[in-house]
Amino acid sequence: MLDPDLLLKVDTSKLPRHIALVMDGNGRWAQHRHLPRNAGHRAGVTAVDAVVTTARELGVPCLTLYALSTENWSRPRREIGVLMQILRLYLRREVKRMVRENIRFNTIGRLEDLPEAVQTLVQQTVAETKDNDGMIFTLALSYGSRLEIVDAVKHIARAVRSGTLSLEDITPTTLGRFLYTAGLPDPDLLIRTGGEVRLSNFLLWQASYTELYFTEVLWPDFRGNDLLRAIIEFQQRERRFGLTHEQLLRR
């Protein structure tokens, strides 16, 4: 349940357009309880539900969760299997809710790396929610920001070679159109749970002017009130984008 005192501190006219979230701490949450790591992954689904619900109710336009990195494939096969099982169960359970609550499901990353059955389910969920015009809920699956940038550069190189793009026309905006996140605004706020203070190859290009928020709360314990605290701190920061405070006052 959301704390009414925290809700009063949130200025709904100044919400982040896009919140990105690194869901960290599942393994440590389980370890602290003398449980297997996979118990932490399963418990993390409750946190996903809480964050999606809170973001949608507040009116946040875009929410992106870092669900599986390209580096995560090197984890034990059994753990990867459990993660894929959790993803399948989640999508099967939540697609009706997304349709009902006007949430558009989206993914970024190398989806071809996922098992075929998971790819099919992801594509079906995207298709079933494509006409929704509410919050865009994105899962980053088999995602790595460095590979994303490499893929974008390759697409640009092909376009230059084919003559559909000239070298002079290549700008930061041009590169952005070739990223997995094309069509999404850059994140205004990036939250990482679990106490670690790094980006872990997540949205490196897009986060150049993103406000970063790190919390000690382990992901399975993260709830709507924790999201409210992050948004409240975000709204207290002055975002200058290279300008001075005085220049901002004159705008």
Q: What is the pLDDT of residues 199-239, one digit of tens each?
A: 999 999 999 999 999 999 999 999 999 999 999 999 999 88
Give the mean pLDDT of the chain.
96
**pLDDT tier at 115, thresholds 50, 70, 90:** very high
Q: What number of helices (H) and strands (E) belong to the chain?
A: 9, 6
Amino acid letter for position 30: A
pLDDT greater than 90 at residue 183 = yes
Cβ atoms within 10 Å of 92's Cβ, excluding its own: 12
* DSSP labels, 39-72: HHHHHHHHHHHHHHHHHHHHT-SEEEEE--BGGG
Six token digits for residue 3: 């704390």
pLDDT greater than 80 at residue 153 = yes
| Chain-centroid distance, C-alpha 130 | 18
pLDDT of residue 232: 98
What is the percentage of the chain residues whose pLDDT exceeds 90?
Answer: 94
pLDDT of residue 248: 60
pLDDT of residue 238: 84
| Domain definitions of the chain by residue range | 16-143+186-237, 145-179
By annotation, the residues acting in catalysis are: 24, 72
Amino acid letter for position 146: R
Contact at 8 Å (CB) between 23 and 202? no
Q: What is the pTM of this model?
A: 0.95
**Mean pLDDT computed over 64-87:** 96
Q: Coil, strand, or helix at residue 217?
A: coil
pLDDT greater than 80 at residue 67 = yes
Return the residue matching tokens 């990353």: 109
Helix-strand-coil percent breakdown of the chain, rounded to 5?
55, 10, 35
Cβ atoms within 10 Å of 241's Cβ, excluding its own: 8
Right CATH number for 16-143+186-237 from 3.40.50.2020, 3.30.70.260, 1.10.10.10, 3.40.1180.10? 3.40.1180.10
pLDDT tens across 14-32, in order? 999 999 999 999 999 999 9
Contact at 8 Å (CB) between 142 and 114? yes
pLDDT of residue 1: 86
pLDDT greater than 80 at residue 247 = no
Comparing C-alpha atoms, which of 3, 11, 64, 6 is closest to residue 236? 11
pLDDT greater than 80 at residue 250 = no
